[in-house]
Structure 1
Amino acid sequence: MNWDAFITCAVTGSGQSQHKSDKIPVTPQQIAEACVEAAKAGAAVAHVHVRDPETGAPSRDPALYREVVARVRDSGTDVILNLTAGMGGDIVLGSAEAPLPLKKGGTDLIGATERLVHVEELLPEICTLDCGTMNFAEADYVMTNTPGTLRAMAQRIQAAGVKPEIEVFDTGHLWLAKALVAEGLIDDPVMVQLCMGIPYGAPNDLNTLMAMVNNMPEGWVYSMFSIGRMQLPYAAQSVLAGGNIRVGLEDNIWLEKGVPASNGQLVERAATMLSAMNVGLKTPAQVREQLNLKKRW
């Protein structure tokens, strides 16, 4: 049991949810406002992707990150920014029978240095490190993160003084995370996000969850989430399993059946659940102390 937890809000993500809910923030202004909204509702951390302001499609344009970060910082809101470094690892095969050449318009595969341009420029307190390759529920798409790429990224993140949040989508990803820590590429305290219920990674059943929790080294700080209707139940499950919480429109667009959510509403619901369980809600300052983060502004 975790009696003092923090909430991360993943405010927009990189999926196609902008076509399913008009509450998905798309422009840098909307994304920054979502971060502020989440912080005011009780989130200590805002996890940020950016999108093409015209189309809503996922983007990795450093200029868009630059504007989001500037707007959040100019707002005076005390929230820890966690910028994704997951973009740029997408492979889409041509087809099952003719995998090569790779599909144009879907494949976006770049090197470790380019994936971290915005992180090294903007120096957020946290950025993500997707600790492994995975099939999603798409016929020919692979999220690609090789051990060599991850080692190179971890080294650059460490040199920048940014805390990596290790994204664990399956049990083997936790194994690789342990190797990176053992090699001195990730500093203590180690921060992990258990990503449950995403096809075809770790299913969101209790046995799989607890198998990963029970294999978590002592002293590691972990959060967890699931997607869709399981997001809010995992807010309770997480603290019961000793972890912290992630909610937000990246993972779930509904407050309840038929009721579209905002990021603030999802954070408020999670905070209410914590209060009902007599669990304390950590502030950004307390999370910085716990994770030894470097506040830049």
Structure 2
Amino acid sequence: MNERPGNGALYGGNPPGAGNTDPLIINVCLSGNVATKAVNPHLPVSVNEIVESGLAAVEAGATMLHVHAYEADGSPTWRPGIFGRILQGIRQHCPAAVLVATTSGRLHGEIEKRAAVLGLDGDAKPDMASLTLGSLNFPNQASVNAPDTLRRLCLLMREKDILPELEAFDLGMLNYAFYLQRKGLLPLDCYVNLMLGSLGAVPGRVLDLANLAREVPLGWTWAAAGIGRYQLPVNTAAMLMGGNVRVGLEDNPYYDYASREPASNAQLVRRIVRLAGELGRPIASCQETRARLQLGQRENWKATQAVIRKLRPDDIAAAIHLLGQWNMAPIQPSAQVPIPERDRLEADNTFVATLRGRVVGVASYLHRGGKWAETASLAVDPEFLGCGIGFQLQHARLAEMRAKGIAHVRTDSDRPEVIRWYVDKFGYRITGQQPKKHAFGRADCDHWTILELDLDPT
């Protein structure tokens, strides 16, 4: 199959261009963690106000609603019951709208609170949930998004089939999204908001938006948001570049920032619709938005999950090439080792990991008779190191050995990091050393470290 270009413009990304006439997706951030009614009396806070504001925004042309929830005193809340009432209230009148729940850690840092909204189901279940891709400083507080927190949120969204609404405040955050995707923690085609103009983020200049947008992979859907006075110019630039827009009172409570004229969400949407018409951009419907984002299509998630299976004849060339990157023998002229002897590939003892049809990992073992076996080569494509593929391959071969009644496993390695991996991750113990059959005249690598593992029966 043809491989899709990788992330970023250097790999065939999404360079901005003029004349795009794709239907425009309008994502409205109805309210947030900072603005209050003292700043803008139109800011929706109660459940009924948020529902009414959301429905008015959809009537004006929005198809996505980014939702925060509040306690009776107006303070932001994480409680799923309040979120559920909002989402159900909107769906009762507009079932096709794309509903997005915040998982912001700006005020509630505990993962249990941030993830609580992901447990809603039925009409209260969000279609999407926000995922800020890194930590940053706002004017008066920090937004902390630790790697483990992001990983756990991604896993929950994948489990619940809730599409992440990615938020990238700089190029580093966008790059982190590519890392999460390589680890199988994001779907193949993502939605991302490019957030500009906040303190501690990318400035709200057209140049900065262009530099971010050109790194968005093909197949992804991106929208741009400008904070405060940058909202209108960033939204306009995004439409010209073929992107989509995030607009709303969370990012900017004013219709005219210079005069501090308060806005409503519907007013901000109507202005975007008017400008889009002048620029030749039709407005996406809710159904078009859902189709573009592939909501409810599990294949989008499955496309980034490595498949572990047995070696097939048509995998052999790719597997040998991959192993050749990790074995010393092919690059040492003094060590002329035949490939079959070196890699010990056999169809019945070798597993491969494939990603969209491409072999990205290989692992094998040898049954030495009775209850003994030896784990042989294990290699992962360098592009996917650290993504858990080696871990999955090791689990697969250990599981098969257990099923065959093998009780004792041995492996040899000359790489300190690999030795630590076997010991720390799987409980192997170091039992000795032995000289290599094919030596290289180097004291640091002319012996194997012997590792052994006793397998518990299944």
Question: How does the TM-score come out when normalised to structure 1?
Answer: 0.88
Q: Which residue of 2 aligns with 1:10?
A: 29
Cα distance in 2 for residues equivalent to 1:109 and 1:167: 17
SS of match in other structure, 1:19: coil
What do the CA deviations read for 1:71-98 (whole angstroms, capped 9, x no partner)? 1122245311011111xx24xxxxxxxx
For each residue in 1:15-53, what CA deviation from the matched residue of structure 2 results, as whole angstroms up to 9, or x when unmatched?
133320110001011011111010000001011001222
Distance 2:254 2:109 in 1: 32
Structure 1 residue 258: Cα displacement: 4.1
Q: Distance in 2 between matches of 1:35 and 1:232?
A: 20
Give distance in 2, aligned partners of 1:35 and 1:191: 20
Aligned: 1:74 with 2:92: yes
Equivalenced residue count is 273
Structure 2 residue ranges without an equivalent (≥5) = 1-17, 298-458
Check if 1:19 corresponds to 2:38. Answer: yes
* Cα distance, 1:118 vs structure 2: 1.3
CA contact (8 A) 1:26 1:51 kept: yes
CA contact (8 A) 2:103 2:129 kept: yes
Instruction: Report the residue type matching 2:78 in the other structure.
Output: R
The answer to whether structure 1 residue 200 and structure 2 residue 200 are counterparts is yes
SS at match of 1:230: helix
Separation of aligned partners in 1, 2:228 and 2:94: 32
1:262 alignment counterpart = 264
What's the counterpart of residue 114 of structure 2? 115
Change (3 A) 1:70 1:130: same
- With over 3 angstroms needed to count, the CA separation of the structure-2 counterparts of 1:73 and 1:47, relative to structure 1, is same
Distance in 2 (alpha carbons) for counterparts of 1:236 and 1:15? 24
Query: Aligned equivalents of 2:56 and 2:103: distance in 1?
Result: 23
Distance of 1:228 and 1:260 partners within structure 2: 12
Q: Structure 2 vs 1, CA of residues 76 and 206 (structure 1 numbering), >3 Å: closer, same or farther?
A: closer
Q: State the 1:253 CA deviation.
A: 1.4
Give the SS at the match of 1:192. strand
Which deviates more from structure 2 when the two are superposed, residues 250-259 or residues 148-157?
250-259
Q: 1:270 & 1:231 partners in 2: Cα distance?
A: 11
Partner of 1:185: 185
Q: How does 1:1-297 map to 2 (within 5 A)?
A: 1=18, 2-3=20-21, 4-54=23-73, 56-76=74-94, 78-86=96-104, 89-90=105-106, 108-111=108-111, 113-121=112-120, 122-138=124-140, 141-256=141-256, 257-294=259-296
CA distance in 1, matches of 2:153, 2:162: 11
Cα displacement string for residues 246-279 of structure 1 (whole angstroms, at most 9, x for unaligned residues): 1111111111234211110100000000011111
Instruction: Give the drift of 1:12.
Output: 0.8
Long gaps (5+) in structure 1: 91-106
Instruction: Measure, in 2, the Cα distance between the counterparts of 1:135 and 1:229.
Output: 19
Instruction: Indicate the larger mover: 180-189 or 76-85.
Output: 76-85
Q: Is the 8 A contact 2:133 2:167 kept in 1?
A: yes
Q: 1:284 and 1:75 mapped to 2: Cα distance? A: 13
Judge conservation of contact 1:193–1:222 (CA < 8 Å) in 2: yes
Check the 8 A contact 2:197/2:228 in 1, yes or no.
no
Distance 2:248 2:72 in 1: 20
Give the conservation status (yes or no) of the 8 Å contact 1:36–1:79. no
Distance 2:149 2:288 in 1: 32
Does the aligned pair in 2 maintain the 1:14–1:51 contact within 8 Å? Answer: no
Q: Which has the higher contact order (CA 8 A, sep 6+)?
A: 1
CA distance in 2, matches of 1:277, 1:16: 31
Q: 1:119 to 1:173 in 2, by over 3 A?
A: same
The 1-side partners of 2:97 and 2:108 are apart by 30
- Equivalents in 2 of 1:198, 1:28: separation in Å? 28
User: Structure 1 residue 148: deviation in Å?
Assistant: 1.5
Structure 1: distance between partners of 2:252 and 2:213: 23
Q: Which has the larger radius of gyration?
A: 2
3-state SS of 2:252 partner: coil
236-245 vs 283-292, which deviates more? Answer: 236-245
| Paired residues of 1:123 and 1:160 also in contact (CA < 8 A) | no
| Percent of paired sites with the same residue | 29
Partner deviation per Cα, 1:175-228 (whole Å, 9 max, x = no partner): 111101111111121110001001011111122222211221222110011022
CA distance in 2, matches of 1:76, 1:145: 32
SS in 2 for 1:188: coil
- Corresponding residue for residue 96 of structure 1: none
Cα distance in 1 for residues equivalent to 2:237 and 2:208 = 13
CA deviation profile, 1:143-164 (whole Å, cap 9, x unmatched)? 1001111111111101100110
In 1: Cα distance, 2:235 partner to 2:167 partner: 17
Q: 1:183 to 1:119 in 2, by over 3 A?
A: same
